[in-house]
Amino acid sequence: MGKMKHFLQDKRHPTLDFLRYVGPGLIVAVGFIDPGNWAANLAAGSQFGYKLLWVITLSTIMLAFLQHNVAHLGIVTGKCLSENATKHLRPAISRTVLGSAVLASISTAVAEILGGALALQMLFNLPIVVGAILTALVVIWFLFSNSYSKIEKVIIGFVCLIGVSLLLEIFIIPHISWGAAAKGAFVPSISGKSLPIIMSALGAVVMPHNLFLHSEVIQSRQWNLKDEAIMERQLRFEFFDTIFSMFLGWVINSAIIIIAAALFFPRVVTEISQAQEMLVPLLGPAAAILFAIAFLFAGIASSVTAGMAGGSIFAGLFAEPYDAQDPHSRLGVLITIIGATAAICGLSFVTSSFNILIYSQVFLSIQLPITIFLQIYLTSSQQVMGKYKNVWFTKWLLLATGAFVTLLNIMLIVETFK
């Protein structure tokens, strides 16, 4: 990732040594709490109360497994998923796969930038088109004017602010059933009516751009790949970083469902703005503003990471790492953010914001299996990973996870076009 960070091991304070490593996982976790997840979680909580919290638990486990595996690819090879695809696949295949991944990043950015625009509409009553353009400009400025280390710190701050905002919301809700929430988090409950929501929540959690992004941002903690002891230490620290970050994502997503279950159930919520409007008579205007601010942070932060992912994938087409000062990386960022903004501006005149979100998720559903099985192919290869390639049971668990996510996404596409 351009210039690498170099960390010295603190033998007196090993905990502090690990804390220096925390960051890449949180960058990826932002994609797990993006506007699309907010919409799915609000729908789950408002329609089924606490009963679908287990979906967040299951999706977090699947996400952590896949993200941990792709981060290993970045650590062991010193190259991201996109660079490895260019290096180890035939040119025609790699360009097709990575071209579809760039389109998936644009599709992801549509949902993220739209989230920022919706938050600005809730806070300042700005039109969606104006909000989308403002969000896009902020994201481009932010990515082009800051180093990765500063971006990482700001994103971590955003994640913390989102978490604090939602915890404050929970604190002022007087009637949460914590027993029902605990049961819902670990005991599956499925009905015919809940199946579309379950498919949407599970299928939308694992996103192609996050798999590319994690293998890239893990490079910010990379040094001296020839030292086996350091390699083992990196692999161990990455595991804890990923688990810690996915846990925070689980807490935030669960909090959204709990808020929706406690306040809205059984009144169905299908729009973010609808949820904000319903908060006013229930908890007062301050709670509604707090909700909109948290959503704004989620929209901007996830838009930034979508732009980084687009830049990383595009640079990988030229066998280059992501570097905000490199022309290929910058062009990839611009293609992603401007392409998404143009799509929002065009589609907003012919359909609703909710439908735009649906269309963006459908394309992700089509592309996702390509990325997952590309990852499994590379991480299972002796040529690519050497002795760190997937052992047989890890490979089969990955294949089962990939097949399950693929099936969910196919079902989601079929359900969408019924």
pLDDT in tens, 110-150: 989 999 999 999 889 999 999 999 999 999 999 998 887 88
> Is pLDDT above 50 for 8?
no
Is residue 130 situated within a structural domain?
A: yes
DSSP label of 174:
S
Is residue 17 situated within a structural domain?
A: no
Nearest to 246 by CA among 68, 94, 405: 68
- What is the reported pLDDT for 186? 93
Is residue 200 situated within a structural domain?
A: yes
What's the total number of domains in the chain?
1
Is residue 6 situated within a structural domain?
A: no
Which domain CATH number covers 75?
1.20.1740.10
Query: Quick check: helix, strand or coil at residue 9?
Result: coil
Average pLDDT of the chain to the nearest whole number: 84
Full residue range of the structural domain in which residue 54 is found? 22-416
Is residue 166 situated within a structural domain?
A: yes
CA 328 – CA 313 distance, rounded (Å): 10
Mean pLDDT over residues 351-373, rounded? 79
Structure tokens belonging to residue 35: 């506007």
Is residue 359 situated within a structural domain?
A: yes
Is residue 3 situated within a structural domain?
A: no
Whole-prediction pTM: 0.87
> Is pLDDT above 90 for 400?
yes
Mean pLDDT is lowest, of 2-6, 189-193, 307-311, 383-387, for 2-6
Burial of 17 (0-12, 13-18, 19+ CB in 10 A): middle
Higher pLDDT, 293 or 2: 293
